[in-house]
Amino acid sequence: MQRKILDLVPENRRRLFFEIRLRLLSVGVEFAVVGAETQVPSAYELYLRLFFDGSNINDFWQMYVRMKSACIIIITLYQNFLGEIH
């Protein structure tokens, strides 16, 4: 997959990474891009904070849904930009 990303036109590569960042911010997930200094990130670290004081099962469920959405966003954007959506 890294080879395919490197084969993208530089503008499309920048657009892909910008779109990933924008979408992750829109679901309220904190993140760090591992390998951002290279042309191809090697991983995305996703974070959510939950304070136990006053939290309940619904709070945990909402965190799960946001994390799941963030993972799906990353996967589908890569598939879309690499032309692998069927």
Number of domains in the chain: 1
Is residue 53 domain-resident? Answer: yes
Is residue 50 domain-resident? Answer: yes
- 76: domain CATH number? 3.30.1460.10
Secondary structure, 3-state, 36-47: CCCCCCCEEEEE
Residue 36's φ and ψ, nearest 5 degrees, are -60, -25
Domain range for residue 69? 2-81
37-61: burial string, b at 16+ Cβ within 10 Å, e else: eeeebeebebeeeeeeeeeeeeeee
pLDDT tens per residue, range 18-35: 999 999 999 999 999 998
Is residue 86 domain-resident? Answer: no
Is residue 57 domain-resident? Answer: yes
Is residue 36 domain-resident? Answer: yes
Give this prediction's pTM: 0.84
pLDDT tens per residue, range 33-61: 998 777 788 899 999 988 888 889 999 99
